[in-house]
Structure 1
Amino acid sequence: MQITIGEAAELCGGKLLCGNPENTITNVCTDSRQAGPGSLFVPLKGERTDAHIFIPAVFAAGAAAAFTQESVELPLEGALIAVPDTADALQQLGAAYRRRFTGPVVGITGSVGKTTTKEMVALALSARYCVMKTQGNQNSQVGVPQTMFQFEEDTEAAVIEMGMSQFGEMARLAKIAAPQFAVMTNIGVSHIENLHTQENIMQEKLHITDGFIPESVLVLNGDDKMLATLRGKMLFNTLFVGTAPWCDYRAVQIESQEGKTYFVMEHESRRLPVVLPVLGTHQVTNALSALAMADVLHVDLQAAAAALATYKPLAMRQQIHKVGGITIIDDSYNASPDAVRGALNVLCSFPHRRVAILGDMLELGRVSHEAHKSCGQYAAKAGVDLLITVGQEAAAITEGAKSENPALPSIHCGDNTEAVQVLKRAIQPDDTILVKGSRGMHMEKVVAFLLKNYA
């Protein structure tokens, strides 16, 4: 990143209160602990903390500039830019900086699988382009504008993850990232507490296309019931991926062996063998989206498939650990009903005894009980041998499992500490153990216990 303080003030509609407008900003941060020479610090007002109190500290650390929406005693050691709202100013500056990039930008959204699909699309495009991608899970109203500052002179394409949980959020993100291409993975019930219906979720996510141009393309998962209803209804170029015969990019001959998934991609008259070093049919759709987008952006498909063969799961996203005679499937980063069912399919593809440790799925509102119960029924049908549930909402998972199979051993725990005590007594040699729950449940603590005590 390279921008002067004066330019930053002008681009976000701010007023420079003090400091040299010719000095350079080389990075933007909202965490005062990350501020240093060249930093523009954006103090955000949260429910618990107003980060304006850290402005003197960031200047002491060498920061070049800071935004402020409050009165601050002058003079200070760096440049201070007054704005009506620091969060809005961050988004305005991010949007303005994004417009300096003229290459293709691909937006990724969906209820489940955004981060994995983002990684796969970036990997497939890397067979031709120098790709900038969202780091980690920076897909929010704060994370997306910060990602815009990662564009560099050698960037040739970008893949931006875009998440939303409230009405209007995707429209704002679309103004910032301005993707000309997009992938939508699915429409589930995540955040239905705020958005009320799946139809609302889909319509909100479709705002990712607000800035589309005639050459734009939207890639949709044809295996998703909600997205399949959009077939033939879009006013711009749309491609469907999936296993249905009518999909533009179709997966056939899907097989799983020794931790890998094999399939053949069919598109028009082409057939392309693909190998993924991960398990799960949901990963096939993610890979198809990556291949379709690579094809749209003129990447050789064989080269894109070769790149996908090197994919490695991110931390806490279906990472498989073999320790002390047991197999751990760490999928603890987050959870939704669709994601839980996909993870259970992966678990039940393993031999020997299958143990599922499932925590609460949060933000499901009025559908929470039924969604948890349905996952319990699915676990029983899929072939889980021992079910351990964690949290208040997850009690309904146990209820559902028992209604489907009263003989299935199932234990409900109030928290992770209790779940660990159950595991100490329950684990047997050769077990395969799935750990999954919403981010707020901190299920990674259960994984940490397993890795520490069975390594």
Structure 2
Amino acid sequence: MVCNYAPRVLASERYCSCSCTSHPNMRHMLSTLQKFRERAVIPVKLMSLVCSSRHYFDSSNIRSSKVNLYAREAVVSERPDLETISTPPDSVSESFGTRIFYDDCVWNALEIAEAVGGEIVRWGPSGTISTDTRKLLPGQWFFAISGENFDGHDFVNEALARERGCVGVIGNRVCQNWGNGFIKVEGHSNTALEKMAKFARDRFRGVVVGLTGSAGKTTTRIMVSLSLRSLGHIYQTRGNLNNGIGVALTLIGTPLDAKVAVLELGMSMEGEILKLARMSRPFVRVILNVGHSHLENLHDLEGVAKAKGELLREMDSGDLCVLNADDPFVMSIPIPLGARKVLFGRGVGCDVRLVLAERVDGGRAIRVILESNMPMPGSQFDVSTKRTSEMVEFKIHGPGLHLAMNACAAAAVAVALGVPLPQAAVSLSRFRPAPMRSQLIFTESGITVLNDSHNASLPSMISAIDSLKSMECRGRRACILGDMLELGADEERIHEMVLNLCSDPSIELIMLVGERFLRAAERLKIVDKVDAVLAEDPDSLAPTVNEFLAPGDVVLVKGSRKMEMEKVVSAIVE
């Protein structure tokens, strides 16, 4: 039983007139098809339903009827028992106690097939989409993509359905005894994923915000989502899914009733942001900053600015770009004719200005004053020429003055989209740092951990060390730093610069992980200046790290993603 695509869409909507429609099973099927129709954004018309067999089979687990269904461009010859659909749980726990609520868009087989241009070989129930069998939830479809070192099709086996609850596979092939849904695509399955993402973007009627920068993307994305909450349902990037696959999954997962989708866009080389911008087509495009990151591929700050600037290259007339006026590299990026510009920063003349940022609560929070000189919106997403000025004060719960600039950027997006500045400020005051990003952890042994282990660049290292120095401490302040990667020719100089920042009387202990920091420590003779512990990797340091710490200590842990410095955090916390 296969689904072949018909090169036609019939204009009429009608059912066959034979007596099969009076049978309870057929009525059940017609009801199910009606539900499919109602769920689509562009209503799926049930074209010319023709009964080709009056044989029915009933059991406690399955109902089947053999029909031909013309729906959009698909002809379907098989369907599942839709009463046994498994649904994903409301939430799932991640490390360090966070909870992610799954409200992803649910796709039915017809929609998936149309989106990827595929063939329904075997029906499967409606569900959300996953590309990772390790994280797949019951009731999800598995999209079998591939990379340099893996092929997702190799993980399709009977256990994926039986133990993980996978309801269907989207890809080139399935295993021999696969009994659940299968939508077959021709060509590279990664291309089909991008095609599905663009299909999802085309049918989404809300506002898309695309955000990039060398540092602070995830924190600002969370703040933007918070500040827009008064507009309704806000959907945002999960975790750090900001590459091509991650952005595609975010678009595919965006619920159709969301008012705004906030997308985090990352890159490591030229051309990647442009590709993501073409896929997501944001109405609001945010560039936070340009810093020393990915220099291995981009060579210098001008190269970073050019790569980040790809976000603005193909803006439509009337689109909004929200830019950091304090960053000369950001301000050097050309803006297309017809695009509207919103500036944030400390300078007079910014549309949303950071008037004050000061540490409070022993360095564990930031007092912020923002001023808006934005035009008052004539409607929710249209900016008029009338301007007013207003000022708000609020507190951000989290260490680091850099959070104030992130909040300023988020407020600029919110006000540009019609949210009053006071309402945005109330929402921003509810912000709490994401796991492994300026996250404070208080251990039972009395040690305070500033967990910033998710990633590291020079700007974020400077901010994190500055935060550590400012925090109240009853014991010693300690830095546990892992290598910074992808810095190219500036690698040695930047690691030495960071160590010089740590050679301060307020920091009494330094632990260094990785060959780059170890070489820099040797050149600077850091062990002669401060108590230092050196380790080749986090696995070497983790078993003994607590021997160097005591109650009352405040400890910063930070390093590039590939250094896996969260292993050290776990050792301290446990």
> Which position in structure 1 is the counterpart of 2:467?
346
Q: Secondary structure at the match of 1:32?
A: coil
The 10-residue stretch of structure 1 (273-282 or 375-384) with the greater mean CA deviation from structure 2: 375-384
The alpha carbon displacement at 1:406 in A equals 5.7
Q: Secondary structure at the match of 1:186?
A: coil
> Which position in structure 1 is the counterpart of 2:541?
419
> Which position in structure 2 is the counterpart of 1:48?
149
The alpha carbon displacement at 1:27 in A equals 1.4
2:243 aligned with 1:123, yes or no? no
> Which position in structure 2 is the counterpart of 1:287?
407
The normalised TM-score by structure 2 is 0.72
Q: Secondary structure at the match of 2:253?
A: coil
> Which position in structure 1 is the counterpart of 2:562?
440
Q: 1:343 to 1:401 in 2, by over 3 A?
A: farther
**Which residue among 437, 452, 466 is the counterpart of 1:331?**
452
The alpha carbon displacement at 1:2 in A equals 4.2
* In structure 1, C-alpha distance between the alignment counterparts of 2:107 and 2:297, rounded to whole Å: 38
2:302 aligned with 1:199, yes or no? yes
> Which position in structure 1 is the counterpart of 2:371?
266
AA aligned to 1:223 is: D
> Which position in structure 2 is the counterpart of 1:409?
531
* CA deviation map 1:330-378 (0-9, x unaligned): 1111111111111001000023432111111112222211111111122
Specify every segment of 5 or more residues in structure 1 that has no aligned partner in the other structure, as ranges: none
| Correspondence 1:91-130 to 2 at 5 A | 91-130=194-233
| Correspondence 1:218-297 to 2 at 5 A | 218-230=321-333, 235=337, 236-258=339-361, 259-268=364-373, 269-297=389-417
AA aligned to 1:302 is: P
Q: 1:257 to 1:101 in 2, by over 3 A?
A: same
Contact 2:481 2:558 in 1 (8 A): yes
Q: Secondary structure at the match of 2:485?
A: coil
The alpha carbon displacement at 1:36 in A equals 6.7
The alpha carbon displacement at 1:391 in A equals 0.7
2:132 aligned with 1:10, yes or no? no
Contact 1:2 1:24 in 2 (8 A): no
Contact 2:542 2:567 in 1 (8 A): no
* CA deviation map 1:42-96 (0-9, x unaligned): 2122333322123343466664543334697698643331221111110110111
The 10-residue stretch of structure 1 (68-77 or 352-361) with the greater mean CA deviation from structure 2: 68-77
Q: Percent sequence identity over matched residues?
A: 32
Contact 2:231 2:259 in 1 (8 A): no
Contact 2:398 2:440 in 1 (8 A): no
Contact 1:17 1:82 in 2 (8 A): no
Q: 1:112 to 1:75 in 2, by over 3 A?
A: closer
The alpha carbon displacement at 1:182 in A equals 1.8
The 10-residue stretch of structure 1 (28-37 or 109-118) with the greater mean CA deviation from structure 2: 28-37
Q: Secondary structure at the match of 1:92?
A: helix
Contact 1:389 1:397 in 2 (8 A): no
2:515 aligned with 1:395, yes or no? no
Q: Secondary structure at the match of 1:53?
A: helix
| Structure ranking higher on relative contact order (CA contacts 8 Å, 6+ apart) | 1
The alpha carbon displacement at 1:29 in A equals 1.4
The 10-residue stretch of structure 1 (317-326 or 36-45) with the greater mean CA deviation from structure 2: 36-45
The 10-residue stretch of structure 1 (253-262 or 111-120) with the greater mean CA deviation from structure 2: 253-262
Q: Secondary structure at the match of 2:230?
A: coil
* In structure 2, C-alpha distance between the alignment counterparts of 1:76 and 1:238, rounded to whole Å: 53
* In structure 2, C-alpha distance between the alignment counterparts of 1:386 and 1:37, rounded to whole Å: 47
2:167 aligned with 1:167, yes or no? no
* In structure 2, C-alpha distance between the alignment counterparts of 1:433 and 1:450, rounded to whole Å: 10
The alpha carbon displacement at 1:397 in A equals 4.8
* In structure 1, C-alpha distance between the alignment counterparts of 2:137 and 2:440, rounded to whole Å: 38
* In structure 1, C-alpha distance between the alignment counterparts of 2:341 and 2:215, rounded to whole Å: 20
RMSD: 2.7
* CA deviation map 1:244-293 (0-9, x unaligned): 33433221232111121012112233221121111212111100011010
Contact 2:478 2:509 in 1 (8 A): yes
* In structure 1, C-alpha distance between the alignment counterparts of 2:449 and 2:137, rounded to whole Å: 40
Contact 1:121 1:293 in 2 (8 A): yes
* CA deviation map 1:210-265 (0-9, x unaligned): 553322211122233421434x8664222222223343322123211112101211
For the pair shown, the structure with the greater C-alpha radius of gyration is: 2
> Which position in structure 2 is the counterpart of 1:189?
292
* CA deviation map 1:274-319 (0-9, x unaligned): 2111121211110001101010010121111111111111111111
AA aligned to 1:448 is: S
The 10-residue stretch of structure 1 (371-380 or 38-47) with the greater mean CA deviation from structure 2: 38-47
Q: Secondary structure at the match of 1:266?
A: strand
* In structure 2, C-alpha distance between the alignment counterparts of 1:417 and 1:54, rounded to whole Å: 29
AA aligned to 2:129 is: V
The 10-residue stretch of structure 1 (57-66 or 82-91) with the greater mean CA deviation from structure 2: 57-66
The 10-residue stretch of structure 1 (283-292 or 413-422) with the greater mean CA deviation from structure 2: 413-422
> Which position in structure 1 is the counterpart of 2:282?
179
How many residue pairs are counted as aligned between the two chains? 447
The normalised TM-score by structure 1 is 0.90
AA aligned to 2:511 is: I
**Which residue among 206, 225, 249 is the counterpart of 1:146?**
249
